[in-house]
């Protein structure tokens, strides 16, 4: 991990509209959780909110903002050329940016999920354990995918939004067979192995774990491969 690259990446993520959205998304989730806990106060609401809105929308959006922001801005404005002239291995650049991205995603997605679960249930129990674990797993995979898309395309945010809204949000919710290719269902299936969880494995846990690991490693590798092929103008 390169400390200088890590600092530059983090500063990029927290600047301007990205920093605002990264604050608003979890705050909105926590505010909604507090409201529902005060008005309704039922466990079914907690599971629906955390497993529905949070894992389907909030977590992938946070990962999209962070994953694409970790490198797409530098690719778009050409400043990546300055970084590539330095004697730093391009694989190290990608791995450093991924580490920063996953750490930021955990802070802005997994931690708020745990806090929201405690607010909704009033205890640190199965819900407050399994859903943050699912969010953390999803963040790890999403960040790798969106980091790769940020290297490959200048339309990374649009591609990511289409994936989140159409595939994860719509198609996988309707077509059960499509869930085998869904990051959300990989995460919830793996997290369903935690003790006393309310999560249900939609696909085989072993299959979900293998697909999650292969996708994450493959995306990071391909991002590094594409970065090596970039030419400096």
Confidence of residue 220 (pLDDT cuts 50, 70, 90): very high
pLDDT at 77: 60
Q: What global pTM score does this model have?
A: 0.90
* Main-chain dihedrals φ then ψ at residue 203, nearest 5 degrees: -135, 170
Contact call for residues 201 and 208 (beta carbons, < 8 A): yes
pLDDT at 183: 94
Contact call for residues 132 and 113 (beta carbons, < 8 A): yes
Contacts of 215 (CB under 8 A, 6+ apart): 141, 144, 145, 183
Tokens encoding 94: 């990608």
Domain residue ranges in the chain: 3-229
pLDDT at 81: 64
Contact call for residues 102 and 143 (beta carbons, < 8 A): yes
- 154-166, pLDDT tens digit by residue? 888 899 999 999 9
Q: Name the average pLDDT for the chain.
A: 85
- 37-56, pLDDT tens digit by residue? 888 765 567 778 888 889 99
């Amino acid at each position: 991990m390169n400390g200088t690259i890590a600092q530059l990446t983090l500063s990029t993520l927290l600047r301007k509209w990205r920093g605002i959205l990264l604050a608003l998304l979890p705050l909105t989730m926590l505010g909604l959780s507090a409201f529902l806990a005060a008005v309704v106060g039922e466990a079914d609401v907690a599971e629906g909110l955390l497993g529905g809105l949070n894992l389907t929308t909030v977590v992938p959006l946070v990962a999209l903002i962070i994953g694409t922001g970790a490198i797409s801005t530098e690719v778009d404005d050409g400043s990546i050329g300055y970084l590539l002239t330095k004697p730093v291995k391009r694989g190290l650049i990608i791995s450093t940016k991924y580490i920063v991205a996953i750490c930021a995603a955990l802070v802005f997605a997994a931690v708020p999920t745990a806090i929201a679960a405690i607010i909704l249930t009033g205890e640190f129990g199965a819900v407050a354990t399994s859903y943050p674990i699912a969010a953390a797993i999803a963040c790890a995979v999403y960040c790798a995918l969106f980091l790769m898309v940020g290297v490959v395309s200048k339309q990374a945010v649009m591609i990511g939004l289409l994936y989140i809204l159409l595939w994860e949000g719509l198609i996988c919710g309707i077509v059960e067979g499509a869930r085998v290719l869904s990051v959300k269902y990989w995460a919830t299936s793996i997290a369903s192995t935690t003790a006393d969880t309310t999560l249900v494995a939609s696909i085989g846990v072993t299959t979900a774990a293998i697909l999650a690991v292969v996708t994450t490693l493959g995306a990071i590798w391909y991002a590094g491969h594409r970065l090596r092929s970039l030419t400096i103008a």
